[in-house]
Amino acid sequence: MSSSEDEKQDFTCESPDLLDEKQDFTCESPEFFDEKQDFTCTSPELLEAADNVRVELLPQQSRELYWSTYNAFIEWKDANRVKTISESVMLTYFGVLANKYKPSTLWTKYSMLRSTIKIKHNIKVKKFTRLLAFLKQKSNGYEAKKSKALTLDNVKKFLSDAPDKTYMVTKVALIFGLFGACRNGELCSLTTNDVIDHGKIIEVTLKHTKNKNTRSFCIEGEPLGLIKTYRSLRPENATVDRFFLTYRNGKCTNQPLGKNKFGSMPKEIAKFLQLADPEQYTGHAFRRSSATLCADRGFTITDFTSLGGWTSSTIAESYIKDSINHKRKRSREITDVIEGTSREDVTSQPEPKKTKLQVSAQSTANIQNISDLLSNRDNVSLNIAHPSNINIHFHIYNFFYV
């Protein structure tokens, strides 16, 4: 049977999906009349303006990629002398792509073509159910490769051992990436006005995010000194307002860091630490490391969505499920069942023993005792004798410096 006959069958089939496609072209909705008026209008200027408005519907940052994907499809269609865009045509095209690309890439191209074809031809590719079934079938059993994540020990070792003269900007980017679960583009687009120094804390606002929702986070504790030092190296005659500038031999230049530089930083850290497979520490490693560390410390789903700006709880749930603490909790519950220990017996533990510390106003040696006890004990009770004229300041860091 010829391909033209196949096309005819597509339009004579009585399936509900096809009926929906027919309705797209025969419905009397206002949107349909608007489309007809656009194409019968005698003003070329108005037609061009309408096309420009439709183009604005695509994401600005990846608009060129959308159109290059669309143009590749059109070139393939023209080369094969195909005049229409139908489900059979799309199935054939993605069948060709499936021989070259992994399933995740196929879904990306599908998403781009769905948007561009709707804009240019007013065809709803999302209603091509057989095409969706094909893509889902190709995804069965496929597991996307994920960037490796830096551990807490990795982070501490790099921040303490890597020389500032060479790695200062990488250290600052690492701190920002961990505290804010930042993407490369978010770090790249930060300006000096987005990083506010409040003295004991630094407030960072991410305005150019993937989902267009501004989010912010704070940094405090030991990392502040490094961030302030890096900022002080900024040239007085800097003509750009980007926060992250190129750093060489202990000095900042007037050249802002590019997105690709941030993407290579995790691999740079892995190489310094001599970690296995440094190539697997991709540009997503900062964000993934932040999420993993937070999951291991018991962050809730609400905490996760606030930290990383995720609009869906699915990703947050996956990090929590994969965290070592979550796995240990499940392991303890299974162990309780096997050993016959009730949950009440496990949770009804005696109150932890507390260490008591007596502090005298005349004793300065006790100050070191306080520091030692706070850093080496989970539970400390403090009794102060003669408490007049005594000021005690506690600084407890429990995020990445614990």
340 in a domain, yes or no?
no
d(CA 206, CA 184): 12
147 in a domain, yes or no?
no
Which 3-state string (H, E, C) describes 62-112?
CHHHHHHHHHHHHHHHHHCCCCCCCHHHHHHHHHHHCCCCCHHHHHHHHHH
**pTM exceeds cut of 0.85:** no
Give the model's pLDDT for residue 304.
76
* Domain end call among 107, 139, 171: 139
d(CA 154, CA 297): 16
346 in a domain, yes or no?
no
d(CA 111, CA 280): 26
**Short-list 170, 10, 168, CA closest to 86:** 10
Q: Are residues 19 and 98 in the same domain?
A: yes
Give the model's pLDDT for residue 71.
96
333 in a domain, yes or no?
no
Give the model's pLDDT for residue 144.
72
* Domain end call among 326, 342, 367: 326
Q: Are residues 124 and 210 in the same domain?
A: no
| DSSP of 345-362 | HHH-PPPPPPEEEEEETT
d(CA 241, CA 184): 17
Q: Are residues 130 and 235 in the same domain?
A: no
Q: Are residues 178 and 287 in the same domain?
A: yes
Q: What domain count does the chain have?
A: 3
Q: Are residues 304 and 184 in the same domain?
A: yes
Give the model's pLDDT for residue 23.
37
Q: Are residues 247 and 286 in the same domain?
A: yes
Q: Are residues 294 and 183 in the same domain?
A: yes
From residue 338, alpha-carbon distances to 250, 273, 332, 335 in Å are 59, 41, 10, 5
Domain that holds residue 46: 3-139
- List pLDDT tens digits, range 339-362: 775 545 545 555 555 555 555 544
Give the model's pLDDT for residue 73.
97
Give the model's pLDDT for residue 167.
96
Question: Which residues of the chain carry a pLDDT beneath 50?
Answer: 1-42, 343, 346, 361-371, 373-375, 377-380, 393-402
